[in-house]
Structure 1
Amino acid sequence: MKLLFVLLLFFSSAVLAQETELPEKFKNDSTLMLKVKDTVHSPRKAALLSLAPGGGQIYNHIAMPKGKKKAFWKIPIIYAGLGFTGYKAIQNQLLQKELKEEFMFREENGEINLQKYAQYDAQGVLTLFEEARRSRDLMIFAFIAVYGLNILDAHVEAHFVNFDISRDLSISLSPRMHDFRTPGLALSFNFR
């Protein structure tokens, strides 16, 4: 019985610790445990949802107030970046494999395997192989960078979902004399 009371007290304090207001009809009922929805927009959740590309941007877009929705347009750019870099990485991998087979065939048999590489000698094929490998590695790093920027963008933009940019916020810079001898500048912030 004491354990039940302690657990009830713990869970009720955890629910009430969230800064959300209960409806009037539930305020006086102490036995009712109401699961209160968390209304805070989480940058961590936006970053985790961005593990599926564009998920964090959609989460941020839905949470923004009506006039400030702007996160949705980034999703096609993310998928275009991932698609292009992924396609080029695969294309360069296939080219590298083809050039490796051509080089190995020339080393074993002493003749040309594919006619499109007939104009190159063995060293030329090896140089093309190295260029294809370098391009493939670069595209893999670009793919990882686009994917990482997707997550970073969702995380950073989640911080600005409830950012107030009303006209009541102001900053002013004015000249000022310090100790009636030293000129200086005064910086004032207004948060009304």
Structure 2
Amino acid sequence: MKNRSLLCILLVLFSFSRIQAQTDSLSIQAKKGVETEVVEKDYEPYNALAPAKAAFYSAILPGLGQAYNGSYWKIPIAYGGLATGIYYYLDNDKQYSKYRDAYKNRIAGREDQFNGKDERVFVSTDGLIRAQEVYQKNKEISLLVTVGVYILNIIDANVEAHLRQFNVDEDLTLQPNFDFNSLTGKTNYGLTLNFNF
């Protein structure tokens, strides 16, 4: 019962902090001696088109949505993932074609590079079939990885554009708290909620 009550209190505090954090302007009163000074902080209004623009830009040219959001460090990661997927797709396609051509030559009764003549490696006909299956499967996986990186690039740009519009101010923080109890020798775990007005 105690855990449920504590959980309910934390949920109420967290909900209240989320409502308070999303206001357009925040008044902060700081006491200086006898006088009270009111400081206004203005935040950018919510721009509903920013996430759509970022996703559209990333769909047109991978990395352009990250540049729109100002996360330039993510652009090499996106291009590195795409380049890796494309490289492995082309390499597996080349190997698949090599084994397919050797299999076709062997079926037609012509010489191939895997028949063991001229000190070359011998691969059986069943081995040629298995190699084609393996490289075909690897080609498909490489294509799926490339498409997955492209889609993740679009999703990342969209989500980051959404998150950039939230209030991330030091006046509202919820942090984990680790406190070492010197009497019992155990560590106490908890959450610290800082809510400054």
The alignment yields a C-alpha RMSD, in angstroms, of 2.8
Higher strand content, 1 or 2: 2
Provide closer, same or farther for how the CA distance between residues 171 and 127 of structure 1 changes in structure 2, counting only shifts above 3 A.
Answer: closer
Provide closer, same or farther for how the CA distance between residues 191 and 56 of structure 1 changes in structure 2, counting only shifts above 3 A.
Answer: farther
- Conserved 8 A contact 2:51-2:162: yes
- TM value normalised by structure 1: 0.61
- Conserved 8 A contact 1:44-1:155: yes
Give the match for residue 5 of structure 1: none
Rounded to whole Å, the distance in 1 between the matches of 2:150 and 2:141 is 14
Q: CA deviation at 1:164?
A: 1.8
Structure 2 residue identity aligned to 1:148: I
Give the match for residue 92 of structure 1: 92
Rounded to whole Å, the distance in 2 between the matches of 1:170 and 1:118 is 66
- Conserved 8 A contact 1:112-1:118: no
Secondary structure in structure 2 of the residue aligned to 1:50: helix
Give the match for residue 132 of structure 1: 135
Give the match for residue 182 of structure 2: none
Deviations 1:118-145 (A, max 9, x none): 4111100111111110110000000001
- Conserved 8 A contact 2:114-2:123: no
Give the match for residue 37 of structure 2: none
Rounded to whole Å, the distance in 2 between the matches of 1:82 and 1:151 is 13
Give the match for residue 59 of structure 1: 68
Structure 2 residue identity aligned to 1:75: I
Provide closer, same or farther for how the CA distance between residues 147 and 99 of structure 1 changes in structure 2, counting only shifts above 3 A.
Answer: same
- Conserved 8 A contact 1:170-1:191: no
Give the match for residue 50 of structure 1: 58
Return 5+ residue gaps in structure 1 as ranges.
1-37, 62-70, 173-187
Give the match for residue 113 of structure 2: 114
Provide closer, same or farther for how the CA distance between residues 161 and 119 of structure 1 changes in structure 2, counting only shifts above 3 A.
Answer: same
Q: CA deviation at 1:163?
A: 2.3
Structure 2 residue identity aligned to 1:139: S
Give the match for residue 164 of structure 1: 167
Identity of aligned residues (%): 29
- Conserved 8 A contact 1:47-1:155: yes
Rounded to whole Å, the distance in 2 between the matches of 1:99 and 1:90 is 14
Q: CA deviation at 1:170?
A: 4.0
Q: CA deviation at 1:80?
A: 0.7
- Conserved 8 A contact 1:45-1:56: yes
Number of residue pairs aligned between Structure 1 and Structure 2: 134
Rounded to whole Å, the distance in 1 between the matches of 2:124 and 2:152 is 42
Q: CA deviation at 1:89?
A: 0.3
Secondary structure in structure 1 of the residue aligned to 2:72: coil
Provide closer, same or farther for how the CA distance between residues 167 and 123 of structure 1 changes in structure 2, counting only shifts above 3 A.
Answer: same
Return 5+ residue gaps in structure 2 as ranges.
1-44, 176-192
